[in-house]
Structure 1
Amino acid sequence: MRQVGGARELAEALLAEALPRRWMHTQGVAAAARRLAPILGEDAELLESAAWLHDIGYAPAIADLGFHPLDGARYLRNSENADPVLCGLVAFHTGAIHEARERGLDSELTGEFTPAPQLLADALTYCDITTGPDGNTVELTERLTDIQERYGSDHPVGRAVRRASSSYVESVREIEARLAM
């Protein structure tokens, strides 16, 4: 699955009714991905597909471990026969390796999936980390604050976000620099 239409339909089927706020966020992330098409060339469709699918692992119908990047990537690989690069984008999106370490799942993540090329990883991080929970565009600092407030500093997500924050800044700067060219 690399086609945007199929990715959107799958995400909608898994998220819209079960997790409407997560669906709103996903729609915003996909809109951000479409805006990056001029800097991605032939990878624009792949990024948009990943944007639609990045949070499907939250869906109750497929959540297994409670670690949405790995749950989503496994579903795409096992049930959808998805492209390995797409699976890698979902598996490693937005600093997922940091949360995997917090949860003791880093060996599973790295053993099953390969990280996507850096530009695509930066682009998906940019789209995710500059989109709020309601699908609106937000500043990086606002998004990080929101995540910390929702999860708390002792939660694995809160700890992972603190560890990954400098990589988020780097990803946002990289994409903004490319957009400015």
Structure 2
Amino acid sequence: MEKTGGDWAYALANGLLRESLPRRWAHTKGVALCARRLAPLVGGNAVALETAAVLHDIGYAPALAHTGFHPLDGARYLRDSTGVQERVVRLVANHTYALLEAEERGLRDELAAEFPLLNDPLLVDALVYCDMTTTPDGLRTTSEERLREILGRYGEDSVVGRFIRRAAPHIHASVDRVRAAAAEAGVQLGT
């Protein structure tokens, strides 16, 4: 039986991130809180969104970091060890335009073959929105500020810097689509 949301996802992410990567854990909790706020917007996908939000960065955990590319490492662990729903695994694998970073790392074909993109644009955009409007400390921010913070932390010429500069228009478009959908549906996004 496939797992859906719930305490197990929080317990797993907590166990993998809280001690070794406390700031990453703070970010994760903020992303999950954002996902919870978007529940009325994504309807029947609310549990999948929150579960993916809680698990999206577990690939950074030292115990799971095999390739050094956190979406792939996290998704492989989830697929091979947890029984979580495939769509959650595919969301984790492809969160925040991961295919573009995978290309920078020479892992695009591997990621695409193992974890095809999910064909649910609103759900995919919602996870991008939550990730890219949450600071490393779990606070709300704008996508513009978040991208500046990432570039400042990694440097413009790093793998992450090159990826984030390429992904920026896509990230901002995802954020704008979620804001528009929320406004149309009367869903408050919060600050």
The answer for unaligned runs of 5 or more in structure 1 is none
1:179 CA drift (Å): 1.1
Name the CA distance, whole Å, in 2 between partners of 1:80 and 1:91.
15
1:34 corresponds in structure 2 to 36
Alignment of structure 1 residues 45-64 onto 2, 5 Å: 45-64=47-66
Alignment of structure 1 residues 115-134 onto 2, 5 Å: 115-116=117-118, 117-134=120-137
Name the CA distance, whole Å, in 1 between partners of 2:84 and 2:51.
11
1:4 CA drift (Å): 2.6
Name the CA distance, whole Å, in 1 between partners of 2:75 and 2:145.
27
Number of residue-to-residue matches in the alignment: 181
Identity %: 54
Pairing partner for 1:111 from 95, 104, 113: 113
1:5 CA drift (Å): 1.5
Name the CA distance, whole Å, in 1 between partners of 2:4 and 2:99.
23
1:18 corresponds in structure 2 to 20
Pairing partner for 2:90 from 56, 79, 88: 88
Partners of 1:147 and 1:158 within 8 A in 2: yes
Q: TM-score, normalised by structure 2?
A: 0.93
Letter in 2 for 1:92: N
Name the CA distance, whole Å, in 2 between partners of 1:178 and 1:9.
31
The answer for unaligned runs of 5 or more in structure 2 is 185-191
Name the CA distance, whole Å, in 1 between partners of 2:79 and 2:57.
15
Partners of 1:85 and 1:114 within 8 A in 2: no
Does residue 158 in structure 1 map to residue 161 in structure 2?
Answer: yes
Pairing partner for 1:145 from 145, 148, 155: 148
1:81 CA drift (Å): 2.2
2:187 corresponds in structure 1 to none
Q: Secondary structure at the match of 1:93?
A: coil
1:115 CA drift (Å): 1.3
- CA RMSD after TM alignment: 0.7
Name the CA distance, whole Å, in 2 between partners of 1:145 and 1:24.
19
